[in-house]
Structure 1
Amino acid sequence: MDYIQPRPSSIVAALYTARDLGVEVAILHGPSGCSFKHARLLEEDGMRVLTTSLADNEFIFGGQDVLERVLKNAEEEFRPKRMAVVGTCVSMIIGEDMQAAIDASGVVTPTIAIEIHAGYRENIQGVIAALEPAAFAGWISDQELERQRRLLAAANEVERLRGAASQPYIEPSRGDLKHVAARRLIDLARSGRRGVAVMNAKKETAYMFADELIALHDACPDAAITYIANLEDRGLPKVRTDAANIREGMAEGGLEPELLGALDEYGANGDAVGERIREIGAEFALIVGVPHAVPPEYTEGVEVISVTNGPRQVAPLREMGHAAVVVEVDLHPQTLGVRSIVGSEFGAVLRSIARGE
Structure 2
Amino acid sequence: MDYIQPRPSSIVAALYTARDLGVDVAILHGPSGCSFKHARLLEEDGMHVLTTSLADNEFIFGGHDLLVRVLREAEEMFAPRRMAVVGTCVAMIIGEDLQSAILDAGIATPAIAVDIHAGFRENIEGVLATLEPAAAVGWISAGELERQRSLLLKANEVERLRGAASRAYIEPSRGDLKHIAAERLLELAGSGATGAAVMNAKKETAYIFADELIALHDACPEAAVTYMANLEDRGLPKVREDAARILAGMRGRGLEPELVGALDEYGANGQAIGERIREIDPDFALLVGVPHAIPPEYTEGIEVFSITNGPRQVEPLREMGHRHVMVEIDLHPKTLGVREIVESEFGAVLRSMR
Partner of 2:75: 75
Partner of 2:207: 207
Matched residues in 1 for 2:206 and 2:168: separation?
28
How far is 1:281 from its partner? 1.0
Q: What's the CA shift string for 1:130-166, capped at 9, x where partnerless?
A: 0000000100000000000000000000000000000
Matched residues in 2 for 1:228 and 1:17: separation?
26
Q: What's the CA shift string for 1:236-255, capped at 9, x where partnerless?
A: 00000000000010011110
Matched residues in 2 for 1:237 and 1:174: separation?
33
Q: Are 2:343 and 1:343 equivalent residues in the alignment?
A: yes
Partner of 1:299: 299
Q: Are 2:252 and 1:277 equivalent residues in the alignment?
A: no
Partner of 1:15: 15
Partner of 2:127: 127
TM-score for the superposition, normalised by structure 2? 1.00
Matches within 5 A, 1:146-185: 146-185=146-185
**RMSD of aligned alpha carbons:** 0.4
Q: Which runs of 5+ in 2 are unaligned?
A: none
Q: Are 2:102 and 1:102 equivalent residues in the alignment?
A: yes
Q: What's the CA shift string for 1:251-299, capped at 9, x where partnerless?
A: 1111010000000000000000000000111111000000000000000
Matched residues in 2 for 1:102 and 1:249: separation?
41
How far is 1:191 from its partner? 1.3
Partner of 1:265: 265
In structure 1, give the amino acid aligned to 2:11. I
In structure 1, give the amino acid aligned to 2:198. V
Matched residues in 2 for 1:94 and 1:331: separation?
36
Q: Are 2:113 and 1:113 equivalent residues in the alignment?
A: yes
TM-score for the superposition, normalised by structure 1? 0.99
Matched residues in 2 for 1:109 and 1:332: separation?
30
Matched residues in 2 for 1:279 and 1:61: separation?
64
How far is 1:304 from its partner? 0.3
Q: Are 2:190 and 1:197 equivalent residues in the alignment?
A: no
How far is 1:193 from its partner? 1.1
Q: What's the CA shift string for 1:169-215, capped at 9, x where partnerless?
A: 00000000000010011111111111000000000000000000000
Match of 2:254, SS state, is coil
Runs of 4+ in 1 over 6 A off after TM superposition: none
Matched residues in 2 for 1:150 and 1:75: separation?
34
Matched residues in 2 for 1:68 and 1:254: separation?
52
Match of 2:211, SS state, is helix
In structure 1, give the amino acid aligned to 2:278. R
Matched residues in 2 for 1:319 and 1:281: separation?
21
Partner of 2:333: 333
Matched residues in 2 for 1:178 and 1:281: separation?
25
Q: What's the CA shift string for 1:95-122, capped at 9, x where partnerless?
A: 0000000000010100000000000000
Matched residues in 1 for 2:191 and 2:321: separation?
22
Matched residues in 2 for 1:138 and 1:52: separation?
27
Partner of 1:312: 312
Match of 2:196, SS state, is strand
Match of 2:351, SS state, is helix
Matched residues in 2 for 1:339 and 1:34: separation?
28
Match of 1:149, SS state, is helix
Match of 1:285, SS state, is strand
Matches within 5 A, 1:20-35: 20-35=20-35
How far is 1:310 from its partner? 0.4
Q: Give the share of equivalent positions with the same residue, in percent.
A: 79
How far is 1:77 from its partner? 0.2
In structure 1, give the amino acid aligned to 2:241. T
How far is 1:52 from its partner? 0.2
Match of 1:31, SS state, is coil
Q: Which runs of 5+ in 1 are unaligned?
A: none
Match of 1:59, SS state, is helix
- Total equivalences in the alignment: 354
In structure 2, give the amino acid aligned to 1:142. A
Partner of 1:222: 222
Matched residues in 2 for 1:66 and 1:245: separation?
40
Partner of 1:92: 92
